[in-house]
Structure 1
Amino acid sequence: MVAADVIIEAIGRCGAIALNRPAALNSLDLAMVRAIADALDLFENDAAVRCVLIRGAGERAFCAGADIRALYQLGKAGRRDAQLDFFRAEYCLNRRIKRYPKPIVALAEGIVMGGGAGLSVHAAHCVAGEALDFAMPEAGIGFFPDVGATFFLPRLPGRFGAYLALTGARIGCGDALALGLASVYVPSSRHAALTQRLIDGEDAAAAIGVEARPAPASALIERRPFIDRCFDAATVAEIAAKIETEDGAFAHETRAALAAKSPTSLAIALRQAQIGAGLSIDEALRIEFRIASRILKGSDYYEGVRAAIIDKDRRPRWRPADFDAVSQADIDSYFQPLADELTFPAAAVAQ
């Protein structure tokens, strides 16, 4: 079965889902999200299918996230309901992957950002290839880390979740494995062999175990003392002040990364990191829908996308422009319940 930009096949004992927009780094639109959800329904009810494999077409990306340009254009055209339709469907899909009754194997090779993390991190087996390039860069376009990041980032060791959410830092295979964002390393040269094992009906965990190799070293894990020290603060302004007291190239890079982001988005991301460890996946996704519905009414998202994607001048004009100008009351408002909350299918039992 082929749905525009998603190829769906039952091959042997494996349900295969391939994101097929390589020229767009396999970025997601609403039709793709719905096609993946339909495929999961199909494979769950197919007794011949023992596991599901999700992969990206091409050599550059698993999935670079949502189709940001399309969402921007919907907002500019006043089609806010259509924007929210995408996020409703995407967040329900993230939850579906997290709870899926059959093993889902995500081949996380190349760029994995934003929505790509939602398709892979929640899978039973997030298999990292050596070219993995992972990031949650949403604060750089005036958005926030979503697709369940409120759930999974605060569960990383120490303050790494806050660090990744606020800086949008890109990390590689060894780092993702060390932090627990990926579960196992299988070199790309062994992905075909792993796929064949799944097609042949081998147990997913056992098949991955045969093809797995020792994880590459992580350079980022050595930065934990700095990250734990600087990102253990109540506000973004306090984090920035702590980083100012640090010396070295890594401190300089971290300062520059924060300075480029929307102050409002940073404050939202920090709040997510502070509360997320106590939330279920359902609660986390409901909160993210609240934030998305409100942030899409504001200005920073459209300004961030304009600067990064439309005009590409890389000079966003954030409102407000300074960390200290973001009020606690304003950030609290993003997290408040909606009249039209995100709801999930009744069939699934809450976790």
Structure 2
Amino acid sequence: MADIATHVDGRLGRINLIRPEAMNAFTHDMCLSVTRALERFLSDPDVAVVVIEAAGEQAFSAGADMRMLYRAGRAGSFHAGQQFWRDEYRMDAMLATYPKPVISLMQGFTMGGGVGLGCHVSHRIVSESACLGMPDCCIGRVPDAGATRILSEAPGGLGRYLALTGYRLGPADAIYAGFADHQVPRAQWPDLLAALAASGEVGQIAEFATAPGPSRLASARNVVDQCFAEGSLSEIIARLQQTDDALAVSALARITKSSPLALACALELQARYTGSGIHEALAAEYRFTFRSYENTDFLEGLRAIIIEKDLAAKWRHPSLSEPSAEDVAAVLAPLGDAELQFERGDLGK
């Protein structure tokens, strides 16, 4: 069975991830299939709106297929991973710049690269079961797939908090932090899709949207801003160690388990690209991912968290330490001829 199904339904161009047994984690072929579908729908005058949805209740998408990437890295096939990320990021750029409205319907887990697929589009809908996050630093990566742009635009210190801790956002938090626009109950999705297929009018989303309830992040802003709004990694850690609030204690525990190099690079990316567009964010993230097999903690993080699950990663830097500015600069330096280009996936909106 194919992992992507696409078809035209009235005024809707529909893209459906159908790999629920793997939480709709996507492969290279799936990225290319989404890109081809977007290109096809763009030239189809009958398609007024594109919708991205996913099979199953557990997840919209857990992101990239990390086992696939681990196997490629362990085999020394670095080019395979680099090509995957190149095409994934071009797909993300295409979604962010698409001339027609694009709706994402996110239920359950939306993690890592799933955020890139679902959270750059023009109309982002979450169900009551939605759980979004960027837990990349715990496996030695930076939040990527354009997450740097969303995180850097989050209010106060939220972007830095979310990047360093991988905090999981429910629907109210996702809307508050800028990852989603509306909550629509899962039971209402068939009716919403039928209405959109008939009319092609995205204004109808408002008729189905419901209030998401209070955001826990909104109520925690004082502590988040106090600890995360500014400063280096070591300064953030010091503030967390001096704060006895439950959020600070939990955040410090998460940071303790994560790759110091990834944490420092995630902070640097937000500092450099606050207010930048999607292309700048993706190009900067690609510098890290391009080098991630050889020059970061990525493979070790995958081994410890995803593959062997011993939760005992041996990071390049001691836990709670801050890598040098030179270490960070080396991983985020321009790639010369290998820089990410957007000849695919960028429609220039």
Q: Which bin holds the TM-score, normalised by the shorter protein?
A: over 0.9
> Is this contact kept in 2: 1:282–1:350, CA < 8 A?
no
Other structure's SS at 2:155 match: coil
Where in structure 2 are there 5+ consecutive unaligned residues? none
**3-state DSSP class of the match of 1:278?**
coil
Aligned partner of 1:259 in structure 2 is 256
Corresponding residue for residue 293 of structure 2: 296
Aligned-residue Cα RMSD (Å) equals: 1.5
Question: Which runs of no fewer than 5 residues in structure 1 stay unpaired?
Answer: none
- Counterpart pick for 2:242 among 242, 245, 267: 245
Q: CA deviation at 1:348?
A: 4.7
| In structure 2, C-alpha distance between the alignment counterparts of 1:346 and 1:231, rounded to whole Å | 36
Count of aligned pairs? 348
Q: Any idea what SS the aligned residue of 2:72 has?
A: helix
Aligned counterpart, 1:115: 113
- Offset from partner CA, 1:253-287 (integer Å, 9 cap, x none): 11101101000000011111212213221111111
* Aligned with 2:323 (options 310, 326, 331): 326
TM-score (norm 2): 0.97
Percent same amino acid at aligned positions? 37
CA separation in 2, counterparts of 1:20 and 1:211?
Answer: 25
Match of 2:101 in 1: 103
1:187-336 → structure 2 map (5 Å cutoff): 187-204=185-202, 206-298=203-295, 300-336=297-333
For the residues of structure 2 that align with 1:343 and 1:301, how far apart are their CA atoms?
Answer: 23
- Note the C-alpha offset of 1:128: 1.0
- State the Cα distance separating 1:299 from its structure 2 match: 5.1
Name 2:339's counterpart in structure 1.
341
- Separation in structure 1 between the aligned mates of residue 21 and residue 138 of structure 2, nearest angstrom: 22
Q: Secondary structure at the match of 2:220?
A: helix
Could you tell me how far 1:201 is from its partner in structure 2? 2.4
8 Å contact from structure 1 (residues 137, 168) kept in 2: yes
The yes-or-no answer on 1:163 pairing with 2:174 is: no
Secondary structure at the counterpart of residue 182 of structure 1: coil
- State the secondary structure of the residue aligned to 2:318: coil
Indicate the residue corresponding to 1:90 in structure 2. 88
Distance 2:29 2:305 in 1: 24
Could you say what secondary structure the match of 1:296 adopts? helix
Between 1:131-140 and 1:193-202, the stretch displaced more is 193-202
Kept after mapping to 2: 8 A contact 1:18/1:55: yes
Q: 1:132 to 1:346 in 2, by over 3 A?
A: closer
Whole-angstrom CA distance in 2 between matches of 1:42 and 1:80? 31
Structure 2 CA distance, aligned partners of 1:299 and 1:219? Answer: 33
- 1:220 corresponds to which letter in structure 2? L
**Could you tell me how far apart the structure 1 residues matched to 2:220 and 2:42 are?**
42
Deviations 1:114-162 (A, max 9, x none): 1110011101000011101010000000111000012111001111010
The Cα shift of 1:41 comes to 0.4
Deviation, 1:314, is 1.0
1:198 to partner: Cα distance? 1.4
